[in-house]
Amino acid sequence: MSQLMDSDDNTPLIKGYSDNIDTHDGEYKSRWRSIRVMYFTMFLSSVGFTIVITSLWPYLQKVDDSATASFLGWVVAAYSLGQMLASPLFGLWSNHRPRREPLACSIFINLAANVYYAYVYLPTSENKYHMLAARALVGFGAGNVAVVRSYVAGATSLTERTGAMANMSACQALGFILGPALQAGLSFIGEEGVRVGLVELQLNMYTAPALLAALFAIINILLVLVVLREHHVDDLGRHTTTINYGSEERLDVSQETEGGIDQIAVLTSNILFFIIMFIFAVFETIATPLSMDMFSWTRQNAVLYNGVILSCIGVESILVFLAVKVVSQRFGDRPVLLGGLVLIFCGFFVLLPWGNHYPKIKWADVQNNSVIHKTFDPAPTSNVSFEPTGCPAEQTWCQYTPAVHLAQFFTADVLIGVGYPACNVMSYTLYSKILGSKPQGVYMGWLTASGSGARTLGPVFVSQVYTNLGPRWAFSLVCGVVLGAVLILAALYHRLVAFSVRYSRIRV
């Protein structure tokens, strides 16, 4: 009999199903219906994050004029910090109880947090800390990503998994497209918008996206409660035993695959995933401040243009996910991961400033003489006729560091838009294969936590380095981090193989 895989790296995509898979047509339909609910949950999770990401900075400035660019880093990081804390908890919960429980709970937290975010302008002081808390709670609710990934990993055979993970990443990328696109579309409501007196709500370009995300969360909860069912298959696609507790189902976790998990491969995968998420967190955090400083965009223009740019990157990512299914089949998962890291390195290298063109300076006295409103009063006593733009004079590097050209910015967008999605899907596809068919809730929780830790550290890192030292230092250090990831992958390349391949157990 021949082995299912020709090598330890090439895991073919499914082109048809084994006779072992879903012997009952009803089980097959229910399994894939539930997997599609997970796709939708991942999609809404990314929408909930990106739908406000391009407006965080101007909204923060609007509600609290004492907020600095450094504090923006903490606001962005708060989401990931909340997710990092929640992921192992939800993962552990999903290992021992039906997954609809942690999913419904987490989505409800996300719903409440988005409503809270829409009302952070109401307190009379310390509004920036309310925004920080709201984003942390949104992130805590997004800890369900660990449950989603563990469900899809456990409900697919080894030959199905790369395709399923790529599909899930495509749904995530579609969320990244629609999130900024929805924000860009809602930017035409304007900063003042309309007041809904009955609920003390100021509906504007900053609050409307959060409320829309809350509406999506309601739809998601209904799908989880009504459609989702528990399914678990082994690496060959055979359904494993389930046991009933009342009206609920829970996996029998006592049936484990023989052999131990390669903990070095697990640790390496977590480190690589941390670096990949760190890199993208740096990019998405710095895009708006960088564009406002380098290209003299206003707050509203920065929200609109960066929303369009991130949407285009999302479209590009979906094309990458489609290509990954073919490329990984031909060359293997690990070469695709390595190639993605190389493209990311090139993307940040392109962003390094050069030449003798310098950014326009936004002088402090001009800023102080302009009229800027903190409140959402729909009938202000005076009009804002001028918004100063350019690189703030207090960032001293603005006066001697060359500007980043718009062509550099677009080129970096394209390169990172190819490299990041390839790395993202390959990193946790490899991780799920390394773990095998054992319950993956806790392990996926740790992977999500490592990514969330990166998304916590990345914004803080880049906001501090960029504010104090400028883009040259910030992007040079990121290039060094990417190079470190390439070296780690090269050194432990031979350990990153599927559990079943490692023990030579899959035969047909």
The domains of the chain, with CATH numbers, are: 25-368+391-502 (1.20.1250.20)
Cβ atoms of 353 and 205 closer than 8 Å: no
pLDDT of residue 238: 65
pLDDT (tens digit, 9 = 90+) per residue, 448-487? Answer: 778 777 877 887 788 788 888 888 898 999 999 999 999 9
Please determine, for residue 257, whether its predicted confidence score (pLDDT) is greater than 50: no
Which of 35-44, 188-197, 335-344, 492-501 is most confident?
335-344
76: closest CA among 468, 464, 471, 456?
456
pTM of the model: 0.65
- Please report where in the chains the tokens 């829970």 appear, as a residue: 250
Give the distance, in angstroms, between the CA of residue 375 and the centroid of all CA atoms in the same chain.
31
pLDDT of residue 106: 92
Q: Nearest 5°: phi and psi at 506? A: -95, 115
CA distance 358 to 271: 37
pLDDT of residue 245: 39
pLDDT (tens digit, 9 = 90+) per residue, 102-159? Answer: 999 999 999 999 999 989 888 878 888 999 999 999 989 888 888 888 888 778 776 7
Residue 396: CA count within 13 A, CB half-sphere = 2
Tell me the pLDDT band of 384, cut-offs 50, 70 and 90: very low
CA distance 117 to 113: 6
Tell me the pLDDT band of 234, cut-offs 50, 70 and 90: low
Please determine, for residue 16, whether its predicted confidence score (pLDDT) is greater than 50: no
pLDDT (tens digit, 9 = 90+) per residue, 161-219? Answer: 777 877 887 787 777 777 877 887 887 888 777 888 777 888 888 888 899 989 989 99
Can you tell me the mean pLDDT for 15-27?
50
